[in-house]
Structure 1
Amino acid sequence: MKFVAFNVRDDERKYFENWSKENKIEVTLLKEELTSTTIAKAKGYDAVLGFQTGNYPDNLFDELAKFNVKVFSVRNVGVDNVDLETAGKYNITVTNVPAYSPNAIAEFTITQLLQLLRKQNLFRQRMAKQDFRWAPFVGEELGHMTVGVMGTGRIGRAAIQIYKGFGAKVIAYDPFPNPQLEKEGIYVSQEELFKQADVITLHMPATDENYHCINEDSIKLMKDGVYIVNAARGALIDTEALIAALKNGKVKGAALDTYENEAPIFNHDLSGQAINDPMFKELLAMDNVVLSPHIAFYTETAVQNMVEVSLASAKKVVETGTAKTIVQ
């Protein structure tokens, strides 16, 4: 049994090497992303492990089928960039890591929101000029707010517990309600969530149904001065509509760890290079936006789990033909 992992970062390497040694399975580690060119390096392996926020090559599963690869295991939750239909056509099993660390992402969203509420962008700018006055940047307290959680899977539920710890009133929307949360009576319709929430935090996968669920029309339903938090998927937000609302004050602030056109930007060193993305540059320059490069997941615990679960899933499928983490 032999595996090959693409787009391996230095922080993942020790976990790959330890697992390979413990399980006596050869795992080849490559720094390159999976592209139409590099995919040839998958020849001779039983399983391929991938991790990239951008698109995988269109011919991914056509080529993996030629190489008799049995498993494609992604080291993350989302599979919206994976052609599951073609994988199924070639009988290639796709697995993911459904819960590498829900707390990592939930904690991060609250951290970013608190920076917005306490005007940290503005204070950092002022202090850089050695101006240490307080006024007029009065902060707001989360415990006095209604937080609308969109998506109540593992991450959404972790976020709900943290928000409750701050004393916030929590309401939620999910097309597939959690039975335990239903008993607590926190579910409302999506429209009601937009109308009632002071903070809207997104914890949903990117699907055709919720593409740009935050858009010009949904923003009109929201309270004046609402805050929006997104550490899920960039495609959930119509960025152009959000920027307009941030400018006119309808949206008071946004904490964004994802961006719909992030693939050529996030996790790349673009020092000294021009960024040819006007919307992104506008977000980056806004005082009422806290922007981060898709790092909500990025903790030691999460990285270890992402590597080990993806490897264990691939091993299980090769040995038995099944695993609990199969998505296709």
Structure 2
Amino acid sequence: MKIYMYGVYQDEVPYIEEWQEEHPEVTVDSTTKLLDENTVNLSKGSDGVVVFQQKPYSDEALRQLALNGITKMSLRNVGVDNLNHELVQELGFQITNVPVYSPAAIAEFSVTQALNLLRRTKEFYLKLAKGDYNWAPHLAKEMNKQVVGIVGTGNIGSTAAKIFAGFGAKVIAYSRHQNKELEGIVEYVSLDELYKRATIISLYLPHVPATDKMLNEKAFAMMQDGVLLVNTARGPLVDEKALIEALNSGKVGGAALDVMTGETKIFNQQINFQEVDYDEFKDLVDRPNVLITPHIAFYTDQAIKNMVKMSLSANLDLIKTGTSDKLVKF
């Protein structure tokens, strides 16, 4: 049996080798390149592929993969929004993901960024770099005095809610499905009420048509003046033009963005700011009250280990049994 892996990073290699030692009957080959129409034939002769990328999987690459007899595809991440759902079904693909690789990784990072906004750390670092070691005028706020609005209480959102509550914050939440484990920790409210009451809003939803640009001009208008926003979920949840206007007006007091709508233009690569064709990013990145990180909330040793080993095991299950407990239902 042979599995081919695309988009492999150096930090994944030890876990790939560890998995191979546990499964000597499987040959694992890999490339650092992403899966596209130019690399698809690298996996020819394999029984399945394991992939990880933010940019969309092209229809041409998926069609060629199927022509090569490879329809067992395992993602090393959660999201499937960069796949053509109709096409993978038409071509007979079986797709697995890693739905729970480390909720703590993303939850902890979102809380960290909320704390950074409250404590105005970026503003202080900018001052310190100029030799200004004065306290004023950057007076900070405390987490235990905040009302934190959690949007989405799946695995990650629920973990974040518990951490925020541990700091003494009042935690309110909106979710299509209420988590009984959060009883006594979270007060569930409508989305409109959350917008109106929260002093910090943190997003934990997938990007689907219903959530596209859910934080828009209308949503921002409902929020408290100076509200803080944290997004470690998906960039398109936020209308970035509306966010810029809300920051300009003071409606939003600060934002921590680990994901952005056009992130594939800039994240996980060396960039030249002068050549970046992304106006919203250029506007936001230098603001003292905006924290932009390159989609790293997930990026911990435990998360990477789980993503690699779980996706390889899921692909092996598909090859051997034709199914997996991580099979995505479209």
TM tier relative to shorter chain: over 0.9
**Take 2:187 and 2:195, find their aligned partners in 1: how far apart are those partners?**
14
- 1:36 Cα deviation (Å)? 1.2
**Take 2:132 and 2:185, find their aligned partners in 1: how far apart are those partners?**
47
- 1:227 Cα deviation (Å)? 0.5
Deviations 1:234-255 (A, max 9, x none): 0100000001101110000001
- 1:273 Cα deviation (Å)? 5.9
Letter of the structure 2 residue corresponding to residue 6 of structure 1: Y
Residue pair 1:148, 1:172 contacting (<8 A) in 2 also: yes
Q: How does 1:111-122 map to 2 (within 5 A)?
A: 111-122=112-123
Which one is further off, 176-185 or 133-142? 176-185
Q: How does 1:101-120 map to 2 (within 5 A)?
A: 101-120=102-121
Residue pair 1:70, 1:318 contacting (<8 A) in 2 also: no
Aligned to 1:52: 53
- 1:179 Cα deviation (Å)? 3.3
Deviations 1:215-244 (A, max 9, x none): 000000111110000001001000000011
**Take 2:136 and 2:184, find their aligned partners in 1: how far apart are those partners?**
44
Segments of structure 2 that go 5 or more residues without pairing to the other structure are none
- 1:183 Cα deviation (Å)? 7.0
What SS is found at the alignment partner of 2:230?
strand
- 1:180 Cα deviation (Å)? 3.3
Letter of the structure 1 residue corresponding to residue 145 of structure 2: H
What SS is found at the alignment partner of 1:59?
helix
What SS is found at the alignment partner of 2:260?
coil
Q: How does 1:143-222 map to 2 (within 5 A)?
A: 143-181=144-182, 186-222=187-223
Is the aligned partner of 1:74 residue 2:75?
yes
Aligned length: 328
What SS is found at the alignment partner of 2:275?
coil
- 1:205 Cα deviation (Å)? 0.6
Which one is further off, 87-96 or 142-151? 87-96
- 1:196 Cα deviation (Å)? 0.8
- 1:181 Cα deviation (Å)? 3.2
Aligned to 1:323: 324
Segments of structure 1 that go 5 or more residues without pairing to the other structure are none
Letter of the structure 2 residue corresponding to residue 17 of structure 1: E
Task: Provide closer, same or farther for how the CA distance between residues 207 and 68 of structure 1 changes in structure 2, counting only shifts above 3 A.
Answer: same
Residue pair 2:162, 2:185 contacting (<8 A) in 1 also: no
Residue pair 1:228, 1:253 contacting (<8 A) in 2 also: yes
Residue pair 1:84, 1:94 contacting (<8 A) in 2 also: no
Provide TM-score, normalisation by structure 1. Answer: 0.97
Shift >4 Å, 4+ stretches: 182-185
Q: How does 1:1-328 map to 2 (within 5 A)?
A: 1-24=1-24, 25-181=26-182, 186-271=187-272, 274-328=275-329
- Alpha-carbon RMSD across the aligned residues, in angstroms, is 1.3
User: Equivalent pairs: percent with the same residue?
Assistant: 43
Deviations 1:252-276 (A, max 9, x none): 0001100010012100112576212
What SS is found at the alignment partner of 1:157?
helix
Letter of the structure 1 residue corresponding to residue 253 of structure 2: K
